[in-house]
Structure 1
């Protein structure tokens, strides 16, 4: 398996003496560099920076390919796990995954990329850990998101592998966790939209384990800020499946309910709302204000540039890697951590005072 071979893929850990044929794209992907940089590192190592050269050599070490260098790192390996994004969906953890990859390599550690899909937790855990009773192939893991990634995290926890999870839901499972708490972010979004003059605000949220908390937080914020009972009629909410078309359906329902502003809790829903507005010949933000809670890739270059409530991914990457390294250094005395990270408001151009439609 390799990082470019689709859902559930990861670099297989090579057996001793095993011959490996690995493509340039696979090496570049695992190293987090471009194909051109990977090519230069292989052909003319003196032409690339020491940091990029180290990343390429470590990536080759993951795949079991001899780089011809005497200083290729042979230290610990950390698995970076994220759920495979279904077709048409945006990966909300893409930025954090890239930052973690760079930081892992920069610290002289090999990163094993894993995309988790449903019903493959057992086989993926076996690939990472090896047979029961043996030393695991990886010495730690950082697991992003829930769903299939959470299933794999549970399997890793059964073998007591040092790991930390980064997700938007809290569970009492004894696993160290950084919770991306969107509740305060939703309250910030509501407060900003109300300050602009909006009174008819809707929420589009994914139908997942975090939905109930987000809906409750939204209605509580609406009640406190607007001094209303915040019933279903006064604080409309649409739960949607993943994907842009689900976002379109959610937006159409909220537009039918005469919302002048929508808070979207996933990138795919935001794209769907933009599509629905275009179909209805409505201008964003003149006819409909939109604010995204969570990471929105390229939010600053979308038309219009999207305001969002987003996280400090750099700080989260530093914390997650630091915590898992501490666990790896002393697994016997490691104490499970559990804390929340609140997002900040980034204003752009997708939310303005309401206009008459």
Structure 2
């Protein structure tokens, strides 16, 4: 069995550590907070982030060198904004070349880079082609309880993808492989925007009809942008697209849905983020996608509307009214991104 370092002791990092431990691997769960590491090792719980018992094969540590020494794989689950800093620290720490797997769902504002691109840019001995991404419909709360979950891994290095599949797959955590790394990363990141919108819709009391429309039209936006950047349109009809959208837009487990719900109920963004106490990736991703859409000249009215709510202090009800009163359209033309002919050549 393998020695694996999981960097990031939030809910998702803890849940993935449990999967790895269940498969017999020795896991080092890294957090930069010494008191958190000590509490996990003393109680076998990570109370703030996940309601689950932590197996004995998982040892928490706060020193990065201790976490990554002699491991065969590193699973990065830190927030998007911390990826570069952690990679720079790894450059000063790593003395060997383990497989890098990331499970962070975001896009870096400003640079507009996917997480694999950021890692490949910052880690001195790696290219983005070496990195594996893990994504799909997967609430940490359910993974921690061993409830049936299915995800996808992808890498331009097919051997690395197969290794990651073998590392994680078990009877409650099924893992597929895909050759569409771009689609996998974009689907996982962009769905958080639509989940914010779904939470706002619920917070406004708009009901299931509105949310169904939001999810469907949101999927069209994700596909339009994804295809323009080289993704396979069919990826967005699979686990990283429709699957992740459903689970994130319809569940109280989703922190993006919860944040949107509070916004829909009238709270301001700063108040919401303070109340959440955890990273809400959809906020930064909305900023990045809005910039992407303008640069690529891709029509993304839901994303643009959410951007005005988050960063221009527009009222959610006014934005919904604006979306409902857009010019008449023909639906099939609007979802042409799913055509096999639409992928850039």
Larger helix proportion of the pair: 2
> TM-score if structure 1 supplies the norm length?
0.28
Larger strand proportion of the pair: 1
> TM-score if structure 2 supplies the norm length?
0.28
User: Which has the greater radius of gyration?
Assistant: 1
